Amino acid sequence: MLINEQRLKCELAEISEFGKLDGGGITRLAFSVEEKNAREYLKKLMLEIDLQIEEDAIGNIYATLTGSEDLEPVVSGSHLDSVPFGGCYDGTLGVMCALEAIRTIKENDCKHLRPIQLIVFSCEESSRFNMATLGSKVITGKLNLDDLKRLKDKTGISVYDAAKEFGCGVDELNKAVLEENTMHSYIELHIEQGPVLENHQIPVGIVTGIASPIRYELVIKGRADHSGATPMSMRKDALVTASKIIIGVQDIAQNKGSDTVVATIGYANAVPGVLNVIPGEVKLGIDIRDIDEDSLLEVDKLVNELIKDVITEDGLTYELTQLCKDTPTKLDDKIVQLLEDEANKLSIKSLKMPSGAGHDAMHMPKVSKYTGMIFVPCKEGISHNVKEEINLEDIYQATNVLANSLLTLANEK
């Protein structure tokens, strides 16, 4: 059973028109007009093959191909939202490949006991509301209505208001929460977002575990003064203090954690942000990740100590808000072995590997009996960037592995 390569190529190009940028790539933020149009296009394709479509209170889409028995579904999918000035494949690829896999199973009249389901998660990217994987966190009971009212974008619009304006029945959020083992299995296909597969010239990565992030927003409060009239010894420059923390976080990640720990200061916003005024306040976005939970917690502790010590020594004050704290996820050996077996049957090279980036799949073990991921290479490992690029031959091979794996799982009792 092989997919229709030309159809997948065309539909990837068509959905990339929604949010398309003149210089390449897309901007398709969560709950935006661009995302709504992409979702409507996708739902049209779903209806053409008679999938049953439902949407939950946060906007997650479930599209189901009925099985011959009333059993828990086999599920695949990803997300359609992007970062600003992002690539066309992060998230979207997993959705379109899952659709092609399900359509191939249906067109080949393959018998299957279990329903096969495509899920499109809402608001996977953290770039709008400073929290990632909102749709999968909602269905696993990790976010409530108060959380959605608290989380806001840069313009002050909350997730709650954005979702409601988008047409979601967000006031009935509790109905979106799924019970344990609601799904038999979940497999997410995604671009690697790193250079390993391309460097090894391997088209399919089989993910063994997913790193988790701990994220903070740090507000450092000094005093804004005239840049010419304030002696160096009398300043409370929040940006200078911030620079010490930035360098310190880098040092901790490089020298104090495991080989797989990473830490990033994603933004540094100085106020008032003009040339002739000493910065009185700075906001830093701090992102710490690892696939090793002990190392992640140790680095987190050291970063917190660093912040307290540096700011206290400089005589400033601060507010530290934890945006999220997730646990690294080990994916199921059963799915890892299945993906490897199906790749071998198709004579496709594969590589077992961890994921340094977070994905909706990291939450799915709470509602799915078995969870796995497939990676495909991206050129030079570039992602979250308009230069994000893939090799279509790799995509076709990975989607064939996905389709055959979904069918195998769908015929398990």
Annotated binding site: 79, 90, 125, 190, 215, 276, 289, 384
Question: What one-character DSSP code corresponds to residue 385?
Answer: S
Continuous segment of H or E residues that includes residue 209:
strand 204-210
Largest Cα span, the chain: 80
CA angle 224–151–280, rounded 5-degree value: 5
How far, CA to CA in Å, does 147 sit from each of 161, 163, 319, 342, 365?
A: 12, 13, 19, 41, 22
Question: Helix (H, G, I), strand (E, B), or coil: what is residue 77?
Answer: strand
Q: Which residues make up each annotated binding site for allantoate?
A: 215, 276, 289
Whether a cis peptide bond, with omega within 30° of 0, leads into 272 is: yes
Q: Which residues make up each annotated binding site for Zn(2+)?
A: 79, 90, 125, 190, 384
How far, CA to CA in Å, does 123 sit from each of 29, 69, 79, 209?
A: 8, 32, 7, 22
Alpha helices in 49-158 (DSSP H): 92-107, 134-139, 145-150
How far, CA to CA in Å, does 25 sit from each of 71, 89, 103, 191, 290?
A: 40, 9, 27, 15, 28
CA angle 294–299–304, rounded 5-degree value: 130
Closest to 132 (Cα-Cα) out of 98, 83, 186, 87? 83
Closest to 12 (Cα-Cα) out of 77, 72, 105, 88? 88
Contact at 8 Å (CB) between 178 and 60?
A: no
